[in-house]
Amino acid sequence: MKFSSSRPQPCPALFISAPGSNHGKTTITAALARYHAEQGRKVRVFKSGPDFLDPMILERACGYPVHQLDLWMIGEAECRRLLYEAALEADLILIEGVMGLFDGEPCSADVAKLFSVPALAVIDATGSAQTLGAIAYGLANYRPGIKFAGVLANNVASPRHNEMIMQGMPSGLHYLGGIPRDSRFVLPERHLGLVQAEEVPDLEPRMLAAATAIGSTDLANLPKAVEFASSEQETPPQLLPGICIGVARDTAFSFIYAANLDLLRAMGAKLKFFSPLTDRTLPDVDSIYLPGGYPELHLQTLQDNLAMKAALQTHFQLGKPIYAECGGMLYLLESILDKTGNRGEMVGLLPGHAIMQNRLKGLGYQFAPMPGGVLRSHTFHHSLIETPLVPAAFGERLHNTSEGEAIYRLNRLTASYLHCYFASNPTAAAQLFC
């Protein structure tokens, strides 16, 4: 069944981008969201690209689930639907870009242009002054058709530094102000990106301090409204009526798209959450979903939770479905060896061992051929696995012809490094759990 489009819905909106990574996009987006939320406004935030970690921070900043906007992985129609539904209820929509404004294919600029959302350039001012204006001018004029909201300087060292930045700002470019260099604003990082929101004990005061700084810039004012149009959408098929899915969710297993959970529920599934770190038993479920995360940071705890490992082994032996992505797959192997040489004995449902690496070993979009059809997916990992298990299939890379990630099938267990976006093929997603 389909529902038809409605008249466009206006809502103030801003796309937060930068010349590249590490300019402070997430910090500024979170600060903006928190500042306006503190003014009593309902703020909905989105993340461009397939990232998991930034949305955790942004969700804490705005108080609502943060969904991805990715033109390849989820498609234009789904992006349009998500934005339209947000515009119906929000006072402000913020979209954080990925990497630099023009990096990738499709890139952040494609999203901003397609939905006519003005782009703000956040530029780290460390080590530059007047030249920052040249960088901003290049971003504003590199590609026609992109609305440019202006530039915000980040890590400004002093009032004099701010004056020098303003001196170099070309006429016609809106300088929205500078955020001072302050260690209170900095969000900690590790090998896959930012540290998870739950692991930053002082996240609230960090966000509040950054939000206070936003109040002294022109970003304290709401941006102009953008009209978001709806699009014709199909109602998700009821493929999982009465199916109860156990979803692992804790600091070891947290890389999961909010839209995946939304779709499972929309297809009729009931979700029960559990923690492989702290729970000793599984909830009463038909299927298991083990998302990615950081199992390598919790080797001793996962190893010592013998009861949970036994519960997963029993679930498998009963012939019930298990779907595991990236870190979830590593947990199902016999062991994980971290970068310091520590080994943790894992569940042992999959023969083989994971070995953490110092460098990135997998990155990019891939088509994932699953038993029920092809899902669109993304991979990003710092480990390798050694296993005698023969892959049932391989992912197909979007941008080159080299072999993609292995997809393993063992009875009713499906595992891979790939993080799949379920709405790209609801039928294929449903068959992983029934």
The domains found in the chain, sorted by start residue, are 2-228 (3.40.50.300), 237-431 (3.40.50.880)
- Say what the pLDDT of residue 192 is: 58
Quote the pTM value: 0.91
State the average pLDDT over residues 270-295.
97
- Helix, coil or strand: residue 77: helix
273 — pLDDT class (breaks 50, 70, 90): very high
355 — pLDDT class (breaks 50, 70, 90): very high
> For 72, left (φ over 0), alpha (ψ -120 to 50), or beta?
alpha
Report the mean per-residue pLDDT for the chain.
93
- Cα 390 to the center of its chain, rounded Å: 30
> 99-108, 228-237, 277-286, 303-312 — which is least confidently predicted?
228-237
| 335: its two tokens | 């062991």
State the average pLDDT over residues 173-202.
79
Per-residue CA distances from 209 to 85, 154, 183, 206 (Å): 31, 14, 10, 5
The residue behind tokens 């070309």 is 170
Q: What amino acid is encoded at 46 in this protein?
A: F
Q: Which residues of 192-204 are buried (b: 16+ CB within 10 A; e: fewer)?
A: bebbbbeebeebe
- Catalytic residue numbers read 326
Secondary structure element (H or E) that encloses residue 205, with its range: helix 203-214
Q: With contact defined as beta carbons under 8 Å apart, do 213 and 31 qualify?
A: yes
Per-residue CA distances from 244 to 156, 283, 420 (Å): 51, 9, 20
Task: Residue 249: count other Cβ atoms within 10 Å of its Cβ.
Answer: 18
Whether residue 191 is predicted with pLDDT greater than 60 in this model: the reply is no
Q: Which residues contact 202 (CB under 8 A, 6 or more apart)?
A: none
